[in-house]
Structure 1
Amino acid sequence: MTGDAAPVSPDPSGTDASSTGEESANLALWLTRQATERPDAAAIRQGEVTLSFAALNDASARAAALLAEHGVRPGDHVSLIMPNVAYFPIVYYGILRLGAVVVPTNPLLKSGEISYIWQDSGCRVAVVFAMFAPDAALAAKDTGTDVITVVPGEFDALLAEQQPLAEVTAREEQDTAVILYTSGTTGRPKGAELSNHNIGTNVRTSMDELFSGGPDDVLFGGLPLFHSFGQTCTLNSAVYAGSCLALLPKFDPAAALQVVQDEKVTIFYGVPTMYVALLQFADKERFDTSTLRLAVSGGASLPVEVLHGIEEAFDLRLLEGYGLSETSPVATFNRPDRPTKPGTVGLPIPGVEAKIVGPDDHDVPVGEIGEIVIRGDNIMKGYLNNAAATAEALRGGWFHSGDLGTLDEDGYITIVDRVKDMIVRNGYNVYPREVEELLYTHPAVAEAAVVGVPDASHGEEIAALITLKEGTEVSADELRDWTAERIAAYKYPRIVKFGTIPKGPTGKILKREIKIN
């Protein structure tokens, strides 16, 4: 579904929103409802392509028929490898419509990584965008997975040949809808099983109580849809609420602001690196962003300086939340109806509890650092085919996040760092985020990542990788001295390097890939 390929003609008569009865928890019923109630309203925009809810519903019904032709049955696992293009929601809801399970797969993975996911999840079929077909073909040789390649234009013609699948397969609330593979920062990726209930409650809470989204809203679709944040908070939320999702296949600050201007975006969703890029973009004032009413940040901790800068530059409110793939993802959020506490990730959302515990899993006092643990409607069923990892993560009935944080007297949570990112120098705990927050206040620093490096004398030494703002200059010695004047002696980075900070496809900084000697 690209600018030079016409959307599949809508044929709402080919679907039946009520065919499964009122008890089904299948997420695809959100789409059939919108196609019935608001058939001509725009559901997806991507460049020159616009899909109405009726057209999206019809195309997903045809995609379901195509998948059924390839042997997909209820409960089967189907991999989806695709960028943020209009084909993604078509196939995504086609898979769900069949009662099958979506396994969204990072398009940047190589053949060996894809093979692992397909073998671990037992994917019968994979739907792959053409530009990623070579690696998928190699993975298919290893796994025997049936690959359907999406070539723009050709795939439209293939869908047009299908008879729309009228039935939306009934699913129970606890049936798995999506399997999200974690990034594998601590070993092999694990498949977090999210049920219809997990995703459904997270979407409803997000749109109804956190974002106040509805049919008049246009959501910015620059977050990768294969990732939990983009999938729940933009794609599923838009379809649930009847909002329009304006897709951007690859984030770039100029392209993002162009989408905001052209599509009259009202809610902007991003990760901190996106907001840093927008803030540093010199030409941002030439775009009309007056339709924006809210910005949402997640995926990593947002520096307070960046939060204030975005709110001032775009005259809006930026609310930060927190979650993980295993929490569907939203777990905590700064509420729009309550005072924002910059630097915090807010309060647990309705239906969710969160607390801070020590190494013995007992609660720690207010203000003390401990691990964030979570329970509620949003918590995954478990890790696919990994009972040991599931038992460890969900011990005591709480999901153990691996993130360190504090709880204040009002119940707001502040993220301190990942447990594994904590640096121990001369027996003192150093939390990289604290040092990074300070570095962000330096007028020459655009981005900062602080890591620990092995040191014979101190156990670990503190190192900072810095990206400077365009047109600025500062030496490593100057930045080191500036930091040393403003933070305890055991915390400031003795090693300062300049360069590009490695990031993943969601924009999250990849500290494990930072190599500083």
Structure 2
Amino acid sequence: MNLAHHVVDSARTHPDRPALRLGDATVSYRMLDRRSARMAGLLRDRGVRPGDRVAIMLPDVPEFALVYYGVLRAGGVVVPMNPLLKSREVAYHLGDSGARLLFAWHDFADEAQAGARQVDAEAVVVDPGSLDELPDATSLPSDMTDRHDDDTAVVLYTSGTTGQPKGAELTHANLARNCDVVATELLRLTPDDVIFGGLPLFHAFGQTCTLNAAVASGACLTLLPRFDAARALEMVEKHGVTVFAGVPTVYSRLVREPGRADYDVSRLRVCLAGGAEMPVQVQLDFRAAFGCAVLEGYGLSETSPVVAANTLRAGPRPGSVGVPIPGVQVRVVDVDNGREVPRGEAGEIAVRGHNVMKGYWRRPAETAAAIRDGWFHTGDLGRLDQDGYLWIVGRKKDVIIRGGYNVYPREIEGVLYEHPAVADSAVVGIPDPDLGEEVGAAVVLRPGARTTAEELRAYVKGRVAAYKYPRRVWLVDTLPKGPTGKILKREIVPPADVPGAPDRPGRPRTDRIT
């Protein structure tokens, strides 16, 4: 078992088909096979042995795939890194993983090299086309290195919302089987498909659902290193994109793109969403605008990443993230005692199956806390309905406990998205000296839309129970987001002068409605 066998198999079956496209340039499967093999030889010449970690700090360019599969062919372990990391973050990822070699894109060379120097690692700067014609290996053969199912293929660092990022060890079997389900069960890919490649390839969503799924199917992945709605629509039309994958923010931007009707997107047959919660209204708006349903799914870095998804066969159920994929079990358990709760009740989502990581890299205590009796405890809250569909309620740490009542931000954000003026929203808990927490909402308006915080507060108040609506609402130009488009709630700070705030710390308001 070696995940890179997908490259060899597709090159043997259809060598001249395009594997990767960036603008007008294409890389065929024959070229990807040859170049990744030479990369494997180069790595062996540099002393990389099976199990050694090699870091990749590249944007969505063909060179990412070349190095990614080259490392795997050499038996190494890929450590994907966000190209926007600063030197101290680079040093942390290299030092924690033990990677002694880093391939970094030329635009980010300064930070990459500075970080590598801090931990005595080597940074190789990659320019466009610089890896196209690598020399053959001089000391060792460049053929495929066999790996076991349980050997680590990728160490994928989590976002680090609760401290320093942890490296999730994903095995060759984890990634290969998750990729197979995505390609055959969810997207039903064929060599004739063209997949939109706008997801960051350093993230599990991009790797499994676009890069690996495309290569395993012999399809073409057309890359867009930096997302722009108009450019994306141009690519969909020009390259004949049939499969689109993105985070909710991307779909929202496509819906709001003023010139969207000018593009022919008729070849789109399926869209996949994940990486963050997708408001129902955005799904409905996208389908109305583009005539293509969005299959929302759910997953985590630790689960390779797909856990559950809506399917083409059953059709999407808006608001739900679908059913567990084949080979994966999901149950909902009580947050306090870990016992399974009845269908329809909310609790923590636990996952068991071929997609669950080997563990956190060199963190046995954290691994034992997360994986108990074979079940990975996600930290996400959800419920299973009577038909087995999974509905996400929110993060365990995001739940707002207001005066003893649980308020789930996803529900309130869903109501805000229904307002015609709202483009984006984030509901957060705000410390309150009397209630423990108060409900707050940061809101981004659609271009040209006009409304007030007071009107939005009243809008939600009329649609949810009295303890749920946000007493504090403020308008912002943008919301802080991570590389996949997920809103970073930990970075949201309400302004002190927002109506509804306590008069001052320690002094509760007297006009609160509970």
Q: Normalization by structure 2: what TM-score?
A: 0.94
Per the alignment, residue 22 of structure 1 pairs with none
Displacement after TM superposition at 1:160 (Å): 4.8
Deviations 1:230-262 (A, max 9, x none): 000100000000000000001111111111111
| CA distance in 1 between partners of 2:371 and 2:357 (Å) | 9
| CA distance in 2 between partners of 1:423 and 1:513 (Å) | 16
1:510 lines up with 2:488 in the alignment: yes
> Would you say the 8 A contact 1:352–1:378 is kept in 2?
yes
Per the alignment, residue 102 of structure 1 pairs with 78
Segments of structure 1 that go 5 or more residues without pairing to the other structure are: 1-24
1:59 lines up with 2:4 in the alignment: no
1:473 lines up with 2:450 in the alignment: yes
Tell me the SS of whatever aligns to 1:388: helix
Per the alignment, residue 416 of structure 1 pairs with 393
Per the alignment, residue 84 of structure 1 pairs with 60
Deviations 1:248-291 (A, max 9, x none): 00111111111111110000000011111111111111111011
| CA distance in 2 between partners of 1:483 and 1:348 (Å) | 32
1:48 lines up with 2:24 in the alignment: yes
Displacement after TM superposition at 1:69 (Å): 2.3
| CA distance in 1 between partners of 2:40 and 2:368 (Å) | 35
Q: Pairwise mapping of residues 337-348 of structure 1 onto structure 2 (< 5 A)?
A: 337-348=313-324
> Would you say the 8 A contact 2:74–2:142 is kept in 1?
no
Q: Pairwise mapping of residues 325-340 of structure 1 onto structure 2 (< 5 A)?
A: 325-340=301-316
> Would you say the 8 A contact 2:283–2:293 is kept in 1?
no
Paired residue for 1:236, among 207, 212, 215?
212
Tell me the SS of whatever aligns to 1:449: strand
| CA distance in 1 between partners of 2:49 and 2:300 (Å) | 29
Per the alignment, residue 479 of structure 2 pairs with 501
| CA distance in 1 between partners of 2:129 and 2:198 (Å) | 23
Per the alignment, residue 29 of structure 1 pairs with 5
Q: Pairwise mapping of residues 247-262 of structure 1 onto structure 2 (< 5 A)?
A: 247-262=223-238
| CA distance in 2 between partners of 1:245 and 1:154 (Å) | 20
Cα distance change, pair 344–243 in 1 and its aligned pair in 2 (3 A): same
Tell me the SS of whatever aligns to 2:373: helix
Residue type of the alignment partner of 1:439: L
> Would you say the 8 A contact 1:61–1:165 is kept in 2?
no
| CA distance in 2 between partners of 1:295 and 1:152 (Å) | 30
| CA distance in 2 between partners of 1:489 and 1:466 (Å) | 20
1:268 lines up with 2:244 in the alignment: yes
Q: Normalization by structure 1: what TM-score?
A: 0.93
Per the alignment, residue 504 of structure 2 pairs with none
Per the alignment, residue 372 of structure 2 pairs with 395
Displacement after TM superposition at 1:183 (Å): 0.2
Per the alignment, residue 184 of structure 1 pairs with 160
Per the alignment, residue 51 of structure 2 pairs with 75
> Would you say the 8 A contact 1:59–1:90 is kept in 2?
yes
Tell me the SS of whatever aligns to 1:117: helix
> Would you say the 8 A contact 1:62–1:165 is kept in 2?
no
> Would you say the 8 A contact 2:101–2:121 is kept in 1?
yes
Displacement after TM superposition at 1:153 (Å): 4.0
> Would you say the 8 A contact 1:45–1:245 is kept in 2?
yes
Paired residue for 2:436, among 459, 463, 468?
459
Per the alignment, residue 98 of structure 2 pairs with 122
Deviations 1:192-220 (A, max 9, x none): 00111100110111111111001010011
1:431 lines up with 2:411 in the alignment: no
**Number of residue pairs matched by the alignment:** 492
> Would you say the 8 A contact 2:348–2:378 is kept in 1?
yes
| CA distance in 2 between partners of 1:481 and 1:346 (Å) | 32
Residue type of the alignment partner of 2:96: D
Tell me the SS of whatever aligns to 1:185: coil
RMSD: 1.2
> Would you say the 8 A contact 1:72–1:124 is kept in 2?
no
| CA distance in 1 between partners of 2:13 and 2:177 (Å) | 22
Segments of structure 2 that go 5 or more residues without pairing to the other structure are: 496-514
Q: Pairwise mapping of residues 135-214 of structure 1 onto structure 2 (< 5 A)?
A: 135-156=111-132, 159-160=134-135, 166-214=142-190
Residue type of the alignment partner of 1:516: P
Per the alignment, residue 282 of structure 1 pairs with 258
> Would you say the 8 A contact 1:193–1:381 is kept in 2?
yes
